[in-house]
Amino acid sequence: MASHTPSTVGATSAGDPYLPGSGNGGYEVLHYDLDLDYRVSTNRLAAVAVIRARTTMPLSRFSLDFAGLSVVKVTVDGQRPRKIAETTRKLVVTLDTPLAEGAEFTVTVRYRGAPHPVRSPWGEVGWEELSDGVIVAGQPCGAATWYPCDDQPASKATYRITVSCESGYTAVSNGVLTGRTTRSGRTAWTYEMRQPMSSYLATVQIGRYRTRRLAEHPVPQSVVHPADLERQVAIDFGQVPRMLELFTRLFGPYPFEEYAVVVTDDALEIPLEAQGLAVFGRNHVDGRHGSDRLIAHELAHQWFGNSLTVARWQDIWLHEGFACYAEWLWAEESGGPSADENAALHRAGVDALPKDIVVADPGPRAMFDDRVYKRGALALHAVRKAVGDEAFFDGLRAYAAECEHGLVSPIDFVEIMEQNVGDGVDVGGIVERWVGKRSLPKL
């Protein structure tokens, strides 16, 4: 009878059917230290990634997500590995001596090239040149376009990111700015994200920007923007401190050390969230509060999406439904339509659309469908109406606190909410009717 030898080869996928080529197995990343030397004028990047990780099994071979750039050198704990191989989306490392389960190890990757976005079912994602700068939009599989990583939402780590570029530009990344030095016409900006962050939420934004401070409490809040939009930015983002105050009251303490908004000099199709940041295009700024709904949406993602992150993409309604509902909460607070009015309006809008997806598992091509956003928000409103405002917001705060900086699934929300509302309300049944079926319930 043949003996069975356990594999020491880490998986080259996290096993998420929505993104079967993303993520890796055999280890968990603890910390990324990224040193990026970038030339805006020529779109050339020379970089070093130092990745500290821990094995989850005996490991002789493992992979990192990595796309479009060239490896110069790889070491593991200071030693050259037996072999490295680059495929279209992976860097595969084979070791001379297997690592034991539970061992911490450090991978250092030197790399270079002209970073560019990768194609995906949701368009091009990742590092992208602007007309005079850079935007990084990593959701859901674009992180690998600028650093080697375990690109899956369930993989959270702390980060230190240094970006060096020509001194006429401002470089923005996640977390607190801990250093800035200038030498020979180039400036290095160092940021630290001390709370765990999923790879797709890491970002770099580079442009000829000015910085405007919005408020200092409960955390520093700022907006980085092109000089010619100073007046409009002051008006449109002047409500951020009030929004933050409202969401802190409703959801609990803001989960990061700072909050910043970047307004790019280019137009963007949609705004996007990153951890501790939100990014808007100049087309979202009009000086007349035309984007208040979007500003509230991206801010709410700091709780729901960034601090509380889904482990699998099919549950994305837990990000987008909550952020969409925050739009309605801000409208209610600021003298606009009530949440009841918004719920009725958007239920009618959803009712006019095909009933051909299940929001709880919409499939990869529909995971950013507007029905996922709106039906997710409607599920929350239905729970609120069933349990009352006091129990609902007590439950939301408990959910945000108990799962802070962690991974969530719908059962986490349901169980925590049911613990806070007591007997007699089937929160799980309400959620199931709104997101677990194709048919659309009545409010």
Amino acid in position 222: S
The predicted structure's pLDDT at residue 1: 46
Q: How far is CA 117 from the centre of its chain?
A: 17
The DSSP-derived string for 36-87 is EEEETTTTEEEEEEEEEEEESS-EEEEEEE--S-EEEEEEETTB--SEEEE-
Summarised one tens digit per residue, pLDDT across range 317-356 is 999 999 999 999 999 999 999 999 999 999 999 999 999 9
Which of 152, 149, 130, 129 is CA-nearest to residue 139?
152
Summarised one tens digit per residue, pLDDT across range 244-282 is 999 999 999 999 999 999 999 999 999 999 999 999 999
Name the pairing type of β-strands 221-225 and 259-263: parallel
| Domains, in order of start, for the chain | 14-206 (2.60.40.1730), 209-302 (3.30.2010.30), 309-435 (1.10.390.10)
Give the separation between CA 246 and CA 280, rounded to whole angstroms.
21
For residue 220, give the DSSP letter: -
CA atoms within 13 A on the CB side of 220: 11
Which stretches of the chain drop beneath a pLDDT of 70?
A: 1-5
Contacting residues for 418 by C-beta, under 8 A, at least 6 apart: 425, 427, 428
- Under a CB-based contact definition with an 8 Å cutoff, are residues 233 and 225 in contact? yes
Summarised one tens digit per residue, pLDDT across range 90-117 is 999 999 999 999 999 999 999 999 999 9
The predicted structure's pLDDT at residue 5: 64
On the question of a cis peptide bond just before residue 220, with omega within 30 degrees of 0, the verdict is: no
The predicted structure's pLDDT at residue 424: 79
